[in-house]
Amino acid sequence: MFGSALKQTVRASRLLFSRSISTGVPEGWVPLTVNGFDGAVGNTPLIYLKGISKETGANIYAKAEFMNPGGSVKDRAALFLIKNAEAKGQLRPGGTVVEGTAGNTGIGLAHICRARGYKCVIYMPNTQSQGKIDLLRLLGAEVYPVPAVAFDNPMNYNHQAKRHAESLDNSIWTDQFDNIANRQAHIETTGPEIWQQTEGKVDGFTCSTGTGGSFAGVTRYLKDVSGGRVKCFLADPPGSVLYSYIKSGGTLTERSGSSITEGIGQGRVTNNLAQDISLVDDALTISDEKSIKMLYRLLDEEGLYLGASTALNVVAAFEMAQALGPGSNIVTLLCDGAYRYADRLFSKKWLESKNLLSSIPQHLEKYIVLP
């Protein structure tokens, strides 16, 4: 990664500069001591992805958000959502935090609720992995998996979460999709970290979006600090409307198909995303076939054990690198690891059921270790 403590490193070219310090750590460096779970959120490393960087001629970096203490990028939003409610006097000691979540935000909230003494209640679509549901319950959260229905249906998991919070005293619905404290987390932390880690040399940023907080917050910060120079591409899975919305200038919301990815894609423009959607330079639609192939490739080439949404982000970074050209510095997010999805992603039977087995190159089939 780029590092101000290593400025003595030879900078003969962008590519040499990037590679020569991507694994460097100053002599005698030790991690800082932090205050509890909250203090461990953020300040994640920026990993240079050597395989796809070599293939594109660009420098592709990925922010290791799976290294947050709760295991995902959503720890950042969860912390800001709770601290925002505390600052506004909406949440007092012993209170209850309620959220509708596809999984990782709920996990972050459950961790932080334990650390700060709150109760946690989670509503989620019953399409999510059993691993996420089990983990939430292990963390002490009440979990209500409910049928997955459209947002305009009153039985949508978000609306059920809101009604639950309204029925309790000293309780908040954190409203991760439309509460812009989510976006603010990335304006104040993720964006500045990327800028500092690349010493301002980032040329492009891309990632997928569910709530819109990560993509919008980082995009806003990088656009502002660079004077608009940094390009920002939204990555979208099948079944989401955002690709068509951006490509059409906001006139279309077409969706087709479905995706194996969890927690990303959207049927509407959330309040978090709406704040900055005018800043988006382009959008990429990424197929499940490309995502699953990249997931196995990252494991094989980089030793990175990652989820499908993260693999989609890396495919988007690869395609953005092709668009911006050799020598460009591209950054994306590694949302979470594969630990919560392993029973699916590395199962031959599951891959066959999704018609994805043939997408995995023969030399990578050795990682399909589950029946």
| DSSP state string for 283-298 | EEE--HHHHHHHHHHH
Q: Is the dihedral of CA 147, 152, 153, 156 positive or negative?
A: positive
Q: How far apart are CA 285 and CA 1, in angstroms?
A: 28
Output the six-digit token pair for 187: 């304006």
- Do 119 and 165 touch, CB atoms closer than 8 A? no
Count the Cβ atoms, other than its own, within 10 Å of residue 174. 27
Residue from 300, 78, 339 nearest 189 by CA: 78
- Do 233 and 282 touch, CB atoms closer than 8 A? yes
Q: How far apart are CA 288 and CA 326, in angstroms?
A: 26
- Catalytic residue chosen out of the listed positions 50, 63, 74, 132: 74
Residue from 230, 371, 370, 350 nearest 288 by CA: 350
- Do 157 and 146 touch, CB atoms closer than 8 A? yes
Residue 63 among the catalytic residues:
no
Q: How far apart are CA 202 and CA 209, in angstroms?
A: 20
Residue from 84, 90, 83, 88 nearest 169 by CA: 90
**Order of strands across the sheet that contains 171-173:** 142-146, 119-125, 96-100, 171-173
Output the six-digit token pair for 42: 């953020």
Output the six-digit token pair for 332: 């994306």
- Do 24 and 6 touch, CB atoms closer than 8 A? yes
Q: How far apart are the first and last CA of the chain?
A: 38
Count the Cβ atoms, other than its own, within 10 Å of residue 229. 11
Catalytic residues: 74
